[in-house]
A and B are shown apart, each in its own frame.
Chain A
Amino acid sequence: MKEIVKVNLENEMDLILAHKRAMKLGELSGLSLLIQTSLATAVSEIARCAIEHGKNSSLLLAVDAEKGRKVLKAVIRDTSDFSAECIEAAMYAKRLVNDVVVTKSPRDFQVVLKQEVNFQGLLSDNKIQSFIDYFESEPPISAYDELRRKNIMLQDFAEKLRESDSDYKILTDSLPIMMFSASNRGIITFTNKWLRDFLHTVPTELAGSAWQTIIHPSEFSSFNKELQNAVARQISFNAEYRLRENDSEDYVWHLFSIIPIKNEKQMVTRWTGLIVDINPQKLVEQTLKDNKELQETQKELFHNQEELQKKVIELNRSNHELEQFAHLATHDLQEPLRKLFYYSDTLKRKYSASLDPSAVTVLNNMASAATRMKELINDLLNYSRLQKQNVPFEEVNLNATLIEVLKDLDIPIREKNATINIPVIPSLIGNELRLRQLFNNLISNSLKYSRTDVSPEITIDVTTNDDHIVVKVRDNGIGFEEKHKERIFGLFERLHTREQFPGTGIGLSICRKIVELHHGRITADSVLNEWSEFEITLPLTQVTTTETADLQ
């Protein structure tokens, strides 16, 4: 069924319009004047009943096809059934048109008037369309009709506007973006759901102070400045800020953007604003930046390490060269010294008869000087050998080692009438020969630097921890001043003249070296003329190394 035109049936004026349009459709369809009048009269009869007894009546004029023939139809519809009131009218109408059909359903009541068309060919689709066009542009019949038409149009527009407004609202509310609009005077007129949910407290003005509780405190002053500037100059503005989520303590990175909307005269009519969550991007950005910084730091570190490595290699090389030099120098010095010693002795032995006593004294002094030099060379050689050697480690019974040391020092111990207290010491991993040298040097020192007013008493004390032992060697000797407690470990450092105490100033350097070779440490403490104490910390185990054999 092709609908041509519709007429609402509300009052007398509508009745005239219904009659007039039925006539016109008849005319356009090529019906004779008589049949036009019959159709229009039938429509009028039913329409009158509808206006008088119906509730919401309307007339629809249409063209339909039934059994291959084109039929004009006038459909009068209503939400309520008024058939009881129009029996007479329907009877009359039946005599005027080909057929009258009444249909009823609970909410729809219809009376359909049908009139066949004689000239079938006349009602092509184009022709029917031209009927529709005719009625749409039909000149108004009356001022009422005109008003009525405009009113209907207005209602249609209002409906469409309502629909589009609702569409906009649904759309903006479903977007994960905060949106708002403000009037040209800066009053916020629209906010979407996302914004209301996120901000909780929604600003009422574009440049209002409400933002202060929203924007991160450290960024608010710059934000406010930029915003005021944009509003005053009527320019768009966008920048990244942290916004407080829902009055919580969490600040989330957002892109804040406002754009002025201008009319054709370039006047700002309103503002639209967008606030987009860019926290993930920011995080990625920050991570990348951190990563880059990390890489740079790592690179720098690596570079520094390389530098350090180079320096260590250089240092090791010069150290090694120095050791080589010390070793060779002392070794090569030993040889002529021995000969000097030997020849002076030979001179004394073989030619004593021809030498006067003062010549013998000179020879003796020479031998004594050579002896001192030999001691010095021996100590130096021992020291340089400590630097050089790759010390083999084994299990060392320190008790046995100390007994050996005491045997070696038997003569001076007896001469000085010294008392030596040794506790039970656990075994440890180390180099027996070096440890023996260490304790020999320390106990020798205690005997050597003893006081004349008391008999020397040397006490060794041991405490064991999880992975190391602490050995203290304490005496009641002359001691030294507190300020020298580090100096005494230096090479050739001596606190006394040779006349007071002979020595080379290498003994404690050797001690420290031996302890360092064992990855331990040695410190000294003393009260002058009362006591001195050497504290040695040694690990119980060592990373074992093997001695490099002298096979070339």
Chain B
Amino acid sequence: MSFPSILVVDDDREDQLILEEYFADIGVSSQVKYLDNGETTISFLEGTANADELPKLIVLDLNMPVLNGTQTLIYLKRTVRYKNIPVIIFSTSENDDEKRKCLSYGAVDYLVKPMTWDEGHAIAKKLASYIDN
């Protein structure tokens, strides 16, 4: 893999592994890169040379150290180079206010982290669908 199509930004290693298992099942593992906070994500993006090297989707956890999900989302949506990359929020929180806020900042979707195997499977499929677009 040269450039990842999906960036999963989550400091929770277990959640990374859960997603990884589904991505492996679907066969897209090689196109997914995992990062653990907003800052490492931004430096990764800054390191890309051309626009076609940018990911097709960024998945953001909200509760992260250094630069949290909301702050990262706002940064991405205010930066011309990155504002067109779709961002999906991936959080434990089921709070409606939180969801509304993230959508108003420009997230394309707000997905609550899975409680069941089926939910996890559905989420992985939804994320993978962005690779082909």
Contact = CB atoms under 8 A, between A and B. Distances in A.
B93 interface: yes
Nearest to B15: A339
A433 B96 contact: yes
Contact of A349 (B12, B94, B117): B117
B18 interface: yes
Contact of B97 (A338, A346, A433): A433
B116 A339 contact: no
Contact of A385 (B14, B70, B95): B95
A279 interface: no
B14 A339 contact: yes
B70 A345 contact: no
B115 interface: yes
B117 to A, nearest CB: 4
Interface string A309-344: 000000000000000000000010011001101100
A345 B96 contact: no
Contact of A331 (B12, B63, B101): B63
B116 A334 contact: no
Given A433-B97, A550-B70, A552-B71, A334 B92 contact: yes
A350 B22 CA distance: 13
A79 interface: no
Contacts of A381: 95
Nearest to B71: A552
A342 B74 contact: no
B128 to A, nearest CB: 19
B56 interface: no
Contacts of B70: 550
A385 B63 CA distance: 16
Contacts of B115: 338, 341-342, 345
A345 B12 contact: no
Contacts of B114: 338, 342
Interface in A427-447: 433
A551 B97 contact: no
**B contact residues, range:** 20 to 34
A378 interface: yes
Contacts of A552: 71
A345 B117 contact: yes
B77 interface: no
A385 B74 CA distance: 23
Task: Describe A's contact surface by its main secondary structure.
Answer: helix
B33 interface: no
A70 to B, nearest CB: 132
A154 to B, nearest CB: 118
B106 interface: no
A99 to B, nearest CB: 138
Contacts of A342: 18, 114-117, 120
A345 B101 CA distance: 31
A552 B66 CA distance: 12
Interface in A377-392: 378, 381, 385
Contacts of A551: 74
Interface string A367-411: 000000000001001000100000000000000000000000000
A328 to B, nearest CB: 10
Contacts of A331: 63, 92-93
Contacts of B71: 552
A335 B101 contact: no
Contacts of A338: 92, 113-115
A341 B112 CA distance: 14
Interface in A339-360: 339, 341-342, 345-346, 349-350
A350 B117 contact: yes
Interface in B79-97: 92-97
A338 B14 CA distance: 12
B11 to A, nearest CB: 11
A433 B100 CA distance: 12
A345 B120 CA distance: 11
Contacts of B120: 342, 346
B125 to A, nearest CB: 16
Contacts of A349: 116-118
B25 to A, nearest CB: 11
Nearest to A349: B117
B114 to A, nearest CB: 6
A342 B18 CA distance: 10
Interface string B95-128: 1110001000000000001111110100000000
B41 to A, nearest CB: 17
B101 A378 contact: no
A541 B101 CA distance: 26
Of A334, A342, A378, chain B has the most CB atoms within 10 Å of the CB of A342
26 contacts: A331-B63, A331-B92, A334-B92, A335-B12, A338-B92, A338-B114, A338-B115, A341-B115, A341-B116, A342-B18, A342-B116, A342-B117, A342-B120, A345-B115, A345-B117, A346-B116, A346-B117, A346-B120, A349-B116, A378-B94, A385-B97, A433-B96, A433-B97, A550-B70, A550-B101, A552-B71
User: Top 8 A-B pairs ranked by shortest CB distance?
Assistant: A349-B117, A345-B116, A346-B117, A341-B115, A334-B92, A335-B92, A345-B117, A550-B70
Interface of B: 12, 14, 18, 63, 70-71, 74, 92-97, 101, 113-118, 120
